[in-house]
Amino acid sequence: MKKYINIKVFIAILIDFFLGGLSLYIANYIRLNYLEDIRIEVVISSFLLPVIFIVLGIYKRSWKYFSILDLWSFVKACLIANTLTFLFIFILNRMENIPRLVVILNFFTLIFLTGGARVIYRTLYERFSFLLSYTQNRIPILLIGDNDNAEFFIRASERTSGLYKLLGIVNENDKENKEFLIRGVPLLGSINNLEKILNKLHKEKKMPQKIIIVSKSIKGTDMSNIMKLVDIKGISIGRALSPNELISGKAFSTNIKDIGLEDLLGRRQNKLEYKKVKNFLKNQTVLITGAGGSIGSVLAKAISKFNIKKLILLDVNENAIYNLSQDFEIGIRKNIIKLSCSNIRNHDEMEKVFIKYKPDIIYHAAALKHVSICEENVSEAIRTNIFGTDLLSGFAQKYLSKCFILISTDKAVSPSSVMGATKKIAENIIQSKDRFSLFTTRFITVRFGNVLGSQGSVVPHFKKQIAKGGPLTVTHKNVSRFFMTIEEAVALVLNATLEQFYSKHESRGSISVLNMGASIKIDILAKQMIKTAGLTPNKDIKIKYTGLKKGEKMHENLYSSEEKKLDIGDKGFFLVKSKVPSESSIKKTLLSLKKSCSYINNNAKKNLFKIIRKKI
């Protein structure tokens, strides 16, 4: 009882004491239409109500945060209090002064009076605390997102010190009525009309200083347009945390974070189908080539968590192998994980790996991936990306592996670079084996775009340039690329492996492609990274446009006009089918490329693109 003895609880007990008696008077008056002398009954009701509330812990629930969830406990307490009140009255005088209907009426009046008092208190508290904080120093903001999340945000802001002045809500849905108000904040229109809304607010001298995103379902194209507008208008942008965090009302100022690079994707990020992948990899020996790279290392970490028989991590880079030995020290000690410092172009060494470990599943991530490096080292790109793929996939057949997965790139679509052309032919090799091979091995190709934060991507490059004080170098103001997170890339590889491995014969030779939404302008990415660092683009950090490099395209595509998209439902990726070259055609291509890589031949690049134009 001592923990209840404080001034606030004492006042609440006094209020409930008064309302308990008043409730019985009102219920009796409703039934009889006049006031009966029921002072003893009223005293019983007044005393019993606070006692029951104390026993059931109602006074532990703050009036300030009284909610629908609290209401149910409150109704139960009122029911018990009402029942016990009339039980005592019946024992005392057999309810001679009170009609039987009052028992029911009093239950409702009790809820109405005591619950109403709490609702009124919370409403007044939120409204007055919000109005008291209404000063000129508050930041004018615009909310963008769905109505439910906007309502959560507004409610949370009303209960805090009032950092923001809410100008309005911009909805995702064109059909929402613009005349509606949500907790007094007007709906101004849809995202499609954002520019007009901002221009109107500017004319009315109500321009927001910040836009806050309160939804995670905004489309990629819409997110891209928002980023362009805030850049032009000089408005900062942030994202609210989840409704659960907002509604808590704790540290509200910290619940707004900068737009992250993942937010620019503007779509739901794809998740791993854990149970299916777990069953698929159970007791399997898995080989990952290029295991020291960005995709390979994260893929290795993901796979190592499953109940596999053995994991072989292969990379040509000595430092990468050393880093893997540190990361997987426990697995290596348990003899579950093996490391191999080998070149995928070395026939004898690769065969040794297959003879020794007999891998069931091969994830082929090893490749020369940098466009500029491949342009200057054409023969090396051909040997690694094409002959290395053919060699490994051949051993997968020979040693009866379960499946072979090639990790490809969107640069293989209508390629303009050596890197893209070599990956396109690598795709053709795997497609042909999957379609025409008489072996039981399945051959799967997974294609996706740029990976945020991977080695050699623009993100770490921009981070280094920001650390040096700039400038950030962007090839062209309008150049765009498809992006994904590294976790999505790994989830796609594992999920697509399952989908393709168990697919029907008709889909053999198809390519799995991540549904990546809209492409993102590199210029916008650069500016957002500068803002995330707390700096202003072209003021604190300059952006320099250098022009497209050799082999680069202005825009990438996920599939070409010669490929047919196959929708497989909401799996986060789709399949594309195209004409698959025969095994004899592939052999001719490889023979031609082998000759072009000879030291006496300087036409490797010319021959490579000649083959691409012939479509093998």
CA 499 – CA 49 distance, rounded (Å): 62
| End-to-end CA, the chain | 86
CA 445 – CA 443 distance, rounded (Å): 7
**Domains within the chain, CATH numbers bracketed:** 2-130 (no CATH), 133-259 (3.40.50.720), 274-614 (3.40.50.720)
The answer to whether the bond into 140 is cis (omega within 30° of 0) is: no
Q: In what order do the strands lie in the sheet with 442-448?
A: 337-341, 310-315, 285-289, 361-364, 403-409, 442-448, 511-514, 573-577, 564-566
pLDDT in the model for residue 249 = 44
- Written as six digits, the tokens of 34 are 């006049």
pLDDT in the model for residue 253 = 45
- Which position has the higher pLDDT, 133 or 271? 271
**302-323 burial: b if 16+ Cβ within 10 Å, else e:** bbbebebebbbbbbbeeebbee
Three-state SS letters, 404-448:
EEEEEEHHHCCCCCHHHHHHHHHHHHHHHHHHHCCCCCEEEEEEE
pLDDT of 156 over the 80 cut: no
pLDDT in the model for residue 404 = 96
CA 443 – CA 427 distance, rounded (Å): 10
Nearest to 426 by CA among 290, 273, 574: 290
Q: Find the largest Cα–Cα distance for the chain.
A: 118
Out of 117-131, 239-253, 349-363, the most confident range is: 349-363
What percent of the chain lies above the pLDDT cut of 90?
23
For residues 231-253, average pLDDT: 61
For residues 254-260, average pLDDT: 56
For residues 510-519, average pLDDT: 81
The count of other CB atoms within 10 Å of the CB of residue 132 is: 10
For residues 538-553, average pLDDT: 86
Nearest to 412 by CA among 551, 522, 513, 559: 559
- Written as six digits, the tokens of 86 are 């009339």
pLDDT in the model for residue 512 = 87
215-225 residue pLDDT tens: 777 776 777 77
99-111 residue pLDDT tens: 888 889 989 999 8
For residues 352-357, average pLDDT: 94
> Are 291 and 314 spatial neighbours (Cβ–Cβ below 8 Å)?
yes
pLDDT in the model for residue 261 = 58
How much of the chain is in helix, strand and coil states, percent to nearest 5? 50, 15, 30
Residues in the chain: 616
CA dihedral 132, 138, 142, 143 (to 10 degrees): -60
- Written as six digits, the tokens of 455 are 């080695």
What percent of the chain lies above the pLDDT cut of 70?
87
Phi, psi of 335 (to 5 degrees): 65, 20
Q: What's the mean per-residue pLDDT of the chain?
A: 82
pLDDT in the model for residue 281 = 92
Lowest mean pLDDT segment, chosen from 23-27, 97-101, 451-455, 578-582: 451-455
Lowest mean pLDDT segment, chosen from 57-71, 461-475, 584-598: 57-71
Beta strands in 63-184 (DSSP E): 139-145, 164-171, 181-182
pLDDT of 117 over the 90 cut: no
